[in-house]
Structure 1
Amino acid sequence: MTEATSRRRGRRTRTESADTRDRILTVAREEFSLRGYDKTSVRQIAKAAGVDSALVHHYFGTKEQVFAAAIETAFAPARHAPDAVADGPLDGVGERLTRFIFGIWENPTTRTPLLAIVRSAVNNETAAGVFRDLVAAQLLRRIAVQIDVPDAELRAELAAAQLVGSAMLRYVIKVEPLASADVEQIIARVAPVVQGHLTGP
């Protein structure tokens, strides 16, 4: 076998491996969304992805690690929230962050995987722990750094609690009239509260 042939085979193998890994992640998100964390198994994920369970373990490890990888990809749009905080004056941070978060929830493409994450986290402590670590590392600490005020981490957590609670009632529990209210009306009412948490006295 020539060196060029070996390189081509190596590239093809890496591409096939990446495709298989992506397929497993896509299926895992669908399974967790459909069944929740407790009722989803690595065997089910492997079967739906058309691979052996050992291959799922090879790429990701335990079910908890599969869930972490799946939700990290689904959570990716929310990682840009700290950018929304940094992109402008501090006195407008509440509206920018609120508008950004509700924008993610209003978009069906990004809302569906988020619903799967939240439902699994609410019903299972292991899933909740994975979600909590991801939110803390990817969102809250980065927002806290951006606002640079006393008690920044607590402020970021209170702002997140306001936004997550509002999103839960609107998109997950679907409490009326919040569930049907115009999103601009919600942003107008929630943003000043978020602003107060982040920069108020």
Structure 2
Amino acid sequence: MAKRAAFNDLLIVVPGIGGSMLRDNEGPLWNPTLRLAGALLVRHGGLIERLAKDNRHLADPAFESEVQPYGLIEMGVTIPGLAGINCYKPLREALLTSLDLEPGDPVGGGPPANYFEFAYDWRRDVSISAEQLKRMVLRELPRWNRLLPPGERARTVIVAHSMGGLVAKHYLVSRDSVSFTSFDLPLE
């Protein structure tokens, strides 16, 4: 195995719309698989109703939804005539095998880490997700910085896709001073 490149910054992956798995009290709600694609095409079995049940309250930042994000989708799914949903497993594998990263729990707890996958409820306004991203960065960046040599400080690096780019941009421009670079990478 090739040696991983040193990486002391905080790296956060923010997926696009539909890229975060969602669950409610009844269990997994949005976790794209072939079974889900089939259910959407044939009979949705209440899935659409469960996804839409909070619809009137989702714009309220104080609203506590039963629907919670819990990770990034593992499998890409194409629903013919409707949509294609990318998976984030290849990105995760590429990052973890090429960079010296310590994966962490985005909910908090556990040892300090510098790699997080930021799952969010993509049904909600990007400003709400951006505020949640801000709270995570404010919690995790100081924890990671304590592990670095004296005088060294980590930057926050955000890898965002599609709607995740809007979440990240909203987070970045809402800060007092910020510099960021945006570029597109071709994905195969």
Fold-level similarity (TM above 0.5): no
Q: Which has the higher strand share?
A: 2
* TM-score, with structure 2 as normaliser: 0.31
Higher relative contact order (CA 8 A, sep 6+): 2
Q: TM-score, structure 1 length as denominator?
A: 0.29
Structure number with higher helix proportion: 1
